[in-house]
Amino acid sequence: MSGTTGAAPSADANDATELRGTPDLLAAARAWRDQDPDPETRAELDALIADAEAGSTDARGATAIAALHSRFDSRLEFGTAGLRGELAAGPNRMNRVLVAQAAAGFAAYLLGREKNPSVVIGYDGRKNSQVFATDTAELMAGAGIRAIILPRLLPTPVLAFAVRHLGVSAGVMVTASHNPPNDNGYKVYLGGADEGSQIVPPADAEIEAQIQRVAATLLVPDLPRSTDYEVASESVLDEYVRRTAALVRHPDASPRFVYTALHGVGWETARRVFADAGFGEPVVVAEQIEPDAAFPTVAFPNPEEPGALDLSYATATAAGAELIIANDPDADRLAVAVPDAAGGWRRLSGNEVGWLLGWRAAERLQAAGEAVAAVGGDVATCVSGTLAASIVSSPALAEVARQYHLDYADTLTGFKWVSRVPDLAFGYEEALGYLVDPQKVRDKDGISAAVEFLSLVAELKAAGRTIDDHELDFAARFGAFASGQVSVRVTELADIPRIMARLRAHPPTHLGTVAVRAIDDFAEGIGGFPLSDILRIHLEDGSRVIVRPSGTEPKVKVYLDASSTEGSPAERIAAAQAAVDALDAAVRPLLA
């Protein structure tokens, strides 16, 4: 997936590199402007072109030329999760020209894949999401493909469900998920043998080749369009709600909880699911409950970011709530917070939610196996299903699988890999993504996961217990696991490969006082995984550090994991956390 672009080049008027190739640059900008159907981005280019032409040797002209270079020197590439980038003019930004080229290229790919393809299209509440979705529907219909657009802005999981439910060839979701407010994106799913999962290689490269062909040979106004597309009926949403609510039994003791949509599109769907599942109406964070493309109350609309849940904490404290449920803006992720001992709130990490939901899935599979075994057979051989997590997620889920005699699979980062694991029963990634119902949807689903977690809390409440108690039970049975993350945000995307190259050239021999036992370099091929820019560092005490570039943001991410099986459950938890804290202090100098 393409991430957001880095900082624009320097606007120094004396920098000759900014002026190099200006005639070709201006010609490219004019050609793009002339095929752009969007008056806002056309005006943006008009202003930049005029400034560049009027004063190529003064600061204003140099700034305009630098801005044009940033937009036209490269292009957002169609990767394994589609496109994502800043809204602005030019091929290195998200706009109607780029989306039209992507839609026409994707249409050509689908027509080459099957005789009578079909596609369902969804969109969230970000700026231009509905415009991009409508453009896609018209271009797909114009290419002779049956196109269906969801009736209004809806969560990504509803679109992923619709691909399977409607039996179509593909799906497109216009969303930038939890990216900054001025970003948007274009996520693609495939039906048929791909079962509604996101695309993986080689499909991404094949689609990109078609997009490049369209961009090189056709103008956007010349692409065939048609308004002869369908609008999906409400039955798609109704069935998603019905099946999601049916995941759990009605609770005997429903918790009092707070819900926030973080200015996204989750509330309408989540509200119906909560009600139908028997959890009633939550207290909502009123300032964040309706879609708002400006995301006015958060710096980044990501539940993992510091401060993103502050309004939820205040609302929950005022309401005397027992739990906070937060979806990200397109509702494919789930964040959970519970009361802490000091009277405040503690957000559970993605790994904590993942291993607790994974344990719940294993219990369910064991119960199903016992039912089969009751009529003959060994329980261990009757329990079947696979638990899966991305390689940067905690090793805890693998231990759950081992103790329940279940298969376990590690995948590369990204739910496109998790969702494709054979015989999948439950999968997650530490970045707040969970798949609790693979028969319904083949992507992370923050609403389904929310219902499962609510059901867990309700069952614990009925037994007079809490999530804290349940985590002690987990540590007693499986050992305690702790995880952490260090992220370094860069202003120049070229800094990322420099950091990775430096670590390869000068690998650490110790992290703190603990010796490094081995380093796996996924760029050289590890265990059948595709070649990837990932380093996995194993330490002598069993701890683990993984370093990789982010797939969606200009960051290098470091994942820290440790565990303990010594002492009481509380002592195990403290020991594992202390090991992670030591790793955190040790890895930061490596990224400076």
Closest CA to 187 of 166, 204, 201: 204
Cα–chain-centroid distance for residue 469? 30
Determine phi and psi for 199, rounding to 5 degrees: -70, 150
Q: Listing from the earlier edge strand, what are the strands of the sheet with 555-564?
A: 480-489, 555-564, 544-549, 535-539, 514-521, 510-511
Report cis status (omega within 30 of 0) of the bond before 291: no
Q: Is residue 176 a contact partner of residue 183, using CB atoms and an 8 Å limit?
A: yes
Q: Is residue 189 a contact partner of residue 171, using CB atoms and an 8 Å limit?
A: yes
Q: What angle do CA 169, 174, 179 make, to 5 degrees?
A: 135
The residue written with tokens 């039912």 in the block is 371
Q: Is 177 considered catalytic here?
A: yes
Contacts 24+ apart (CB under 8 A), 286-292: 286/315, 287/311, 288/260, 288/261, 288/262, 288/263, 288/312, 289/259, 289/260, 289/261, 290/261, 290/263, 291/124, 291/125, 291/153, 291/261, 291/263, 291/264, 291/265, 291/329, 292/125, 292/263
Residues sharing a CB contact under 8 Å with residue 423, sequence separation 6 or more, in sequence order = 384, 385, 386, 407
CA distance 554 to 179: 11
- 508: which 2 tokens? 């650490």
Q: Give SS3 for 390.
A: strand
Burial of 228 (0-12, 13-18, 19+ CB in 10 A): exposed
Q: Kindly write down the DSSP assignment for every residue of 170-231, as one continuous string.
A: EEEEE--TTS-TTEEEEEEEE-GGGTTEEP-TTHHHHHHHHHHHHHHH--GGGS---S--EE
Residues sharing a CB contact under 8 Å with residue 403, sequence separation 6 or more, in sequence order = 362, 477, 478
- 357: which 2 tokens? 């939901």
Q: Is residue 305 a contact partner of residue 299, using CB atoms and an 8 Å limit?
A: yes
Instruction: State the amino acid at position 14 in one-letter form.
Output: N
Cα–chain-centroid distance for residue 591? 24
Residues sharing a CB contact under 8 Å with residue 431, sequence separation 6 or more, in sequence order = 304, 333, 350
User: In sequence order, what are the beta bridge partners of 258?
Assistant: 283, 324
- Determine which one of 177, 390, 419, 448 is catalytic: 177
Residues acting as catalytic residues:
177
